[in-house]
Each structure stands twice: as C-alpha cells, then as structure tokens.
Structure 1
Amino acid sequence: MLWVTLCIVIATIVFMRVLLSVRDFIRERAAVKKLPCPPGAHWLKGHTKLDPFGAGLQWMLDTVKVCPRAYVMWNGPFALPVLVHPEHIKTLVASSTHSNKSILYKVFEDWVGRGLVTANGAHWKRNRRLLTASFHLDVLRTYIPVFHKCTDVFLDKLDRVAASKTPMRVYNELSLCTFDAILRAAFSYESNVQNRPLQDGKYDDMLHATEVLSRVSNARMVSGNLLEVHPWTFPYCSMYSDWAENTKYVRNFARGLVIKREEELDQKMKSGDSLGKPRDFLDTVLMARDEDGTRLTIEEIVDEASTFLFGGFETTSTTLTWVLYVLAKYPEHQDKVRQEIDDILAGREAGDIMNKDFVHMEYMTLVIKETIRLYNVVVLLSRTLTEPLEVDGVTLLTGTTVAMNLYQLHHNPTVWGDDHMEFKPSRFLSENFNKMDPFSFMAFSAGPRNCLGQQFAWNEMKLMLARLVSRFRLGLVEGEPEPVPCFNLTIKPQKELVLSLEKREHI
C-alpha cells in the first residue's frame, strides 16, 4: 500500500511539473508572438526552411531592414526572440541580472564543459574572478616574444610562397600560426604545427577535431531539429559518432596538458623550489586560489583550457583572414597601414615590435574594427531571462531564451546607415563613433560577460598584421571569385580564400 501511495505521489508531481512546463511554454510563446515576424515561416520547420544562416547571409540582411529593432525567428517549432538594435541589446548584455547563458550553450558542454563560455551563476562568477589574473596586462606583455617566434615561422613560410609565385592559402596558414601561438603562449607547448606536412588531409589532429566540432555544433544549433539539440536524443543522430570521437580527443588533449603541468608544479613544491611567477595561462589557472586556499579542480581547469584552446585561435585566425582580404581588395588602406607601421618602427626591424607600439597602431585598429563590423566572427549570443524584459512594448517572460544577432546589429541600416555594406574605417574615428551608442559595435561582446581574452587577441592580431604588411604586399588573385561569408559557428569564407604575395624590395 505504501509503495502504491509513493508511486501515486511521484506520478502526481511529475504530471504537475509537465503541466506547469506546458503552461509556461504557452505563455512564453504567446508573448513572443507579439513581436514582428519575418515572412515565410513554415508551420513546422519555421524559418529554417528559408536557410536563414545560408551562404551570403542574405536572409539576415533582408530581415534587419524590415525588422531593425527586434523580431521573432522560428527555429523549427521553437520561437526565438532576436534583438538587433543597441537599445535593446545593451539592456541584456550590460545587466548582471540577465547574465545567464541560454540553453543553446548546452550544445557545447561535451566540448568545453562548464568553462566561462557556458557556465552560469556562482560557478561562472568564481571562475571569472580566478581567471582574470591570467589576462592582466603585465602577463599579456610576456607573450609578445612568443608571438614573434610564431610569426617568424609564419613569415618564413610566406617567403617561400611568394618566391614560388603561388597564392597564399589564407585561413589555412593563419590558423596554423594562431594555433601555434595559443599552444606556446597559453600552455608553453611547442607543437611545430606550422611546419608539419599534410597527412590524411589534415595538418594537425587537434585542428581537425576543432573543425569537426565547429561544423557539428553549427548544424545542431540552426537545424531546428529537437532530436539533434537535446542531449538525451543526440546520441541517436547520425552526427553523434563524429562528435563523440572528436570531443574525446579535444578533452584528452587539454587534460594531458593540464596534468603534465600540475605534475611539474607539484615536483617543484616537493623539491623546495620556488614556483616563481606564472609562466603562462596554465600556470596562472593552476596557481589561482580562493580566499580560503581552494583551487579549481582538474576538470574545471580542463574546461577552461578547452575553451581557451578553441577561442584563442579560431576567432583570431578567422578575423585576420577577413582583414587580409579587405587589405588586398582596398590597396589604398593597405598602404596607409603599412606607412603607419614604417613610421612607428622608424629604422627598427619589424621583429622588434614591442607592447608599447600597439597603442600607436591607430589606423590599423580602425581597419580591424571595420573588418569585424563587416564580417564579425561571432554571430549569435543568447541569454535566458531571469526576470521579465520589455522590448518595444512587448513583455518577454522570465525563462524566455533571447538571442542577439551581432551580424544584423553591425548591418542595421538604422544604426550604421544605408552604406553599411561599404568598407569605411573612418566610422571608428573618435569624432564619428562617439556620436553612436557604444553598444552599436560588439567585437568581443560587452558587459559582465565580455570576452576575457580580447586584449590577448588584439595584441596577437596587431603584431602579426604589422609584421606581415611590413614584409609583403597583398593582392587579389585574378579570376578568383569574391569570397562569400558563410556561417559555420563563426563567419568564414565559403571557399578557401587565396591572395597573392609580393615581397617588398627593401626587405
């Protein structure tokens, strides 16, 4: 009798939870439906039938013209409010009460665990506090010699490419260099990845695994297929075997780096040697302590290492790919950047660029910012509301998942004007940009959850770009089509971008 009563109680609790979930779903759906909706949504497939993230990103451009503030996108049968105007976006990203990442980030948890990208609440706050020291300006300054070493290898390879009169495979070479840089700077690990020959269609297993995971993550997020998104049903989908194999490889790679370093530090302590100052990102994380002396667990460190491994090279190499393209396409801007670098060096070698030189690379900064605006690498951010949010008179309820489309923000004609598709670095001159809402441009997100490693990325990009344009002239390859931006977790050219290289005579 007791067992029957217990079963009835449990069944009642489950049933009530289901009813409450259905009620909340209906309420959220009713509220969201009050927002403008782009035409063409299928009753079951929603806007996914229109391929909104398809090559060229034309659907996004068309939609932000007619819905320049906010709209509801139907990802399959699920309604997703999308914010595309700085007035609404800043309310979400600048608020500490709306800092919870949405359920969409669950897609990445097998890959990066509960690292800063996916974590929420007290766990995120603690990890963010402990990791902040890893990106202190004094620490970042020590990475400059490492960036130079990686760039030396990169430029030597480009010397051979230029001498052979063959085009440069832009993303391929950049990704190898930035991956080399993140391994050396963050983990003091020399992989020699830039000089490895192509084997079985890949240069490095870690790079290949990252490409696979990016592709699968992207497919899961935009398909609108609940079976592919939900972690309970995903193991039964066709993509799962690739996902499982490569997440295991990436996690084991990161875990190996962490455990080896922990053993080194433990050995130092046992032998009585001073640990000294942290050498790199991994040292700072392993040595970080709460006030009571508690440190991150090995798995927590593996989560952060996996996050930084991906974020530390993929976004940088993709951004630089687009920067090199616009410099090749607009030689007048390339000449200005090169002249600025020549003036800064004033007789010094490009290999002598120091941290203090970065602040003087003003025109280069304008060029990079405008490139990011045109081809921003990260497209979607999303949050789960922890309290109601009003958007143009529509109240979105607590628990609603809300997205921010940064590509549409950066191509919003009501924000950037009808010439938003044109490349104009002057937009970011202080006399122009200061007139705009600061949340009109979000290269590295903003607010409490902005990118912790953004200064690391800026330093690396400026150094690599300065040395590259100091040595070479970039040009478009005759007969090559204009690159088409394509969404694959980040925005990359649909086909491999190639550029011509001409070595400067005085080099």
Structure 2
Amino acid sequence: MIEKLSKYSGKEDSFEMFHQASLCTMEVILQCAFSGGEMSEQTKNEYVEAVKRIGILLVERNFNPLYVLFTAIYNLSPGGREFLRLCDFVHYTGGSIIKRRRQELERDPEILAEKKRLDFIDILLMARDEDGRGLTDLEIREEVDTFLFAGHDTTASTLSWALYSLAQHPHHQDKVREEVDQLLAGREEDTIQWEDLHKLPYLTMCLKEAMRLHSPVPFISRTVTEDTVIDGVHIPEGSYIGIHLYALHHNPDIWGDQHMEFDPNRFHPDRMKDMDSHAFIPFSAGQRNCIGQNFALNEEKVILARLLHKFTFDLDPARPVEKDMTVVMKTRDGMWMKVKSTGQTAD
C-alpha cells in the first residue's frame, strides 16, 4: 500500500482511499487467516466491489416490505438477481481458497508441523469431533465467508474514516505522526513490533474517536430470546430488533452537544473510566460481539502508524465526501485524498 501511494506523493492526482484500504486489508486477512491464500489482483478488485455492492443491495431490500417478506419475489427482481449472482461469486471465491489449501495439505501433510501456530483456515480443515468427523465444506465456507467479508470491509472503513478525520484536522494528524516518529526514532526499519502497540496512546485515541464519530458498522441486529421490557416497552420473545450504533455514538446525553466534532480527548483514560461500558460499542457487545476486534484494532494501529510515518494526508477539495450508510459506513462518490512524503526512507 505504501508503494502504491508513493506514486501519488506530491502530485495533483488524488486517489480513492476506500479502494486502496480495502485491497490492503484484504491482503492482511489472506496472509494472517488463510495461509497467504493466493488471489489475483483482478479477483481482489472484483471481490471488494462485490462486497460493496452486496451491502447496497441489502439496504435497498430492507426498504421494500414486499421484498423483505417474500424472498421468492425479491429473487426474481433485478436487484435480487444481481444479489444472488454476487453471492455466488463471493461463495466461489471462498470455496477456491478452501480447495487450494486442502490440496496443499494433502500434497504435503508435514507443512503444518513447520508452522509455529495454525492459521484460521488450517484450524477449520483439521478440526475433528469426538467421532473423528470434520466440518463439511459448506460449514467451512460459511466461516471463511464471514472472516473474509467482515475481516476486510469493516477494517477498511475504519482506516479510511480515521485518515479522513486526521486529514480534516492536521494538528491531530501532526500529533499522531510525532508520536509514531518518536517511537521509531533510531531504528533501522519502521516495522511496528508487538510491544509497540501499547506505546501509541494518542493514535489509539484518534482511532477510537473516528470509530465513534463515523461508526464503520452503523447498525446491528439481534433476535430477542426472551420476553424483555425496555423503558416500559414490552418486546416479545422472537422479535427482530435493530440497534443503531451511529445514533448511540452521537447521543448528546453521553457525548455532549459537540458530538459531531472530532475530539480524540474524549477517549483519554481519565474521561473514559466513569463512562458506561455500553456507551461506545463499535464492535457490538455481549456474547455476539466481534470475534476479531483485537485483531482489527492491532491491524489498524499498525497500518495507520506506518502510513502516517511515511505520508501527510490531505482531502481533495474538489471531491467532497458524503456518507452512505449501508451495512458498513461508506461514501456515495468515494473518499479522494492526496499525499505528500514526510521524507522518511527506512523500510
């Protein structure tokens, strides 16, 4: 990603941040969870665009009661046919990763002995119950789809909106860069080590404030498992309810009248210690919270630190950003940015 963005450094040309971030986070999840599962650049681009379009189609369907109630009717509609075609492509892509890895393990069973720890895909393929039965291909593919889909799209949204806010507020961007530069001062390379992650407190505050302000996952849903009363309203068992995280993260009773302003100091430990644990839940909460939240946060810290060490980010004033609240917080016409090199040359 750094190599790609370097081509834009100091030039008038802008680039679309969401797409660049999505390609990067896709590569990260492939390397970290799928044993480096190979995927051509064309397939990556097609997969990223397919996921984006699926999110748009899902939201469109939810605003049509006829399509929500009658799946067969939706499947016959133009949007439904496109949705099914894109789902088939996403499923095929996940299935291809599984098939390729299974073949590699069959050719060389000793390949796992050489690894310090198993990747997610290897765990799924090797898992056995007490009777020696493994997961079916469908069960494995469902897990792969979840990790591949959620493991890149939400993270790319978070990275993009964090850089957006930092580009809007250069003094915060400079402060984060100063923190990163101090951390990496005197080193021969700018790799972020595991022990470095807790040494970036201001970057972390900015990252959390970006997740609050922009809510990369703006909406979650749950099925009520027992009769429940909330604020005097009876909600029967089996009800399907929506939780609007964007609204929660802009609750003026919690975040004040300036809740639309970017203020990383909201997440200073002294201010957070007395806050309700459910006032800020970018990864949901409870038993069904995000299984990958620690991985995602660490990934975002590393990528942001590396990028801000190398570049200064500015928004393209000719292409204003407008939010598009789908399954993941996106933009209507992209997020166009420009970069300048900071002069750091270590790699």
Alignment match, 1:490: 328
Report the Cα distance in structure 1 between the residues aligned to 2:48 and 2:227, rounded to whole angstroms: 41
Letter in 1 for 2:50: A
Report the Cα distance in structure 2 between the residues aligned to 1:423 and 1:383, rounded to whole angstroms: 30
> Contact between 1:485 and 1:493, CA under 8 Å: does it hold in 2?
yes
Deviation at residue 212 of structure 1 after TM alignment: 2.3
Letter in 1 for 2:38: E
Deviation at residue 422 of structure 1 after TM alignment: 1.0
After superposition, give the CA deviation of every residue in 1:142-183 in whole Å (9 maximum; x if it has no partner).
Answer: xxxxxxxxxxxx111111111543223211211111122222
Report the Cα distance in structure 2 between the residues aligned to 1:224 and 1:349, rounded to whole angstroms: 57
Alignment match, 1:226: 66
The answer to whether the aligner puts 1:249 opposite 2:101 as a matched pair is no
The answer to whether the aligner puts 1:501 opposite 2:339 as a matched pair is yes
Alignment match, 1:258: 98
Structure 1 segment 244-323 matched on structure 2, within 5 A: 244-269=84-109, 273=110, 275-276=112-113, 277=115, 278-323=117-162
The answer to whether the aligner puts 1:183 opposite 2:23 as a matched pair is no
The answer to whether the aligner puts 1:174 opposite 2:11 as a matched pair is no
> Contact between 1:180 and 1:192, CA under 8 Å: does it hold in 2?
no
Report the Cα distance in structure 1 between the residues aligned to 2:129 and 2:261, rounded to whole angstroms: 49
Report the Cα distance in structure 2 between the residues aligned to 1:229 and 1:457, rounded to whole angstroms: 35
Alignment match, 1:459: 298
Alignment match, 2:80: 240
Report the Cα distance in structure 2 between the residues aligned to 1:329 and 1:349, rounded to whole angstroms: 31
User: TM (normalized to structure 2)?
Assistant: 0.92
Deviation at residue 229 of structure 1 after TM alignment: 5.0
Alignment match, 2:252: 413
Instruction: Find the structure with the greater CA-based Rg.
Output: 1
> Contact between 1:337 and 1:364, CA under 8 Å: does it hold in 2?
yes
Report the Cα distance in structure 2 between the residues aligned to 1:357 and 1:368, rounded to whole angstroms: 16
Q: Which runs of 5+ in 2 are unaligned?
A: none
Alignment match, 2:56: 215
Q: Which runs of 5+ in 1 are unaligned?
A: 1-153, 197-201
Structure 1 segment 400-479 matched on structure 2, within 5 A: 400-479=239-318
Letter in 2 for 1:237: S
Structure 1 segment 135-214 matched on structure 2, within 5 A: 154-187=1-34, 188-191=36-39, 193=41, 204-214=45-55
| Identity rate, percent | 36
> Contact between 1:180 and 1:190, CA under 8 Å: does it hold in 2?
no
Letter in 1 for 2:112: L
Q: How many residues align?
A: 342
Deviation at residue 316 of structure 1 after TM alignment: 0.8
Deviation at residue 279 of structure 1 after TM alignment: 4.4
> Contact between 2:112 and 2:118, CA under 8 Å: does it hold in 1?
no
- CA separation of 1:408 and 1:389: change in aligned 2, threshold 3 A: same
Deviation at residue 203 of structure 1 after TM alignment: 6.9
User: TM (normalized to structure 1)?
Assistant: 0.64
Structure 1 segment 73-92 matched on structure 2, within 5 A: none
> Contact between 1:337 and 1:363, CA under 8 Å: does it hold in 2?
yes
Deviation at residue 350 of structure 1 after TM alignment: 5.2
Report the Cα distance in structure 2 between the residues aligned to 1:424 and 1:167, rounded to whole angstroms: 27
State the 4+ residue runs in structure 1 displaced beyond 4 angstroms. Answer: none
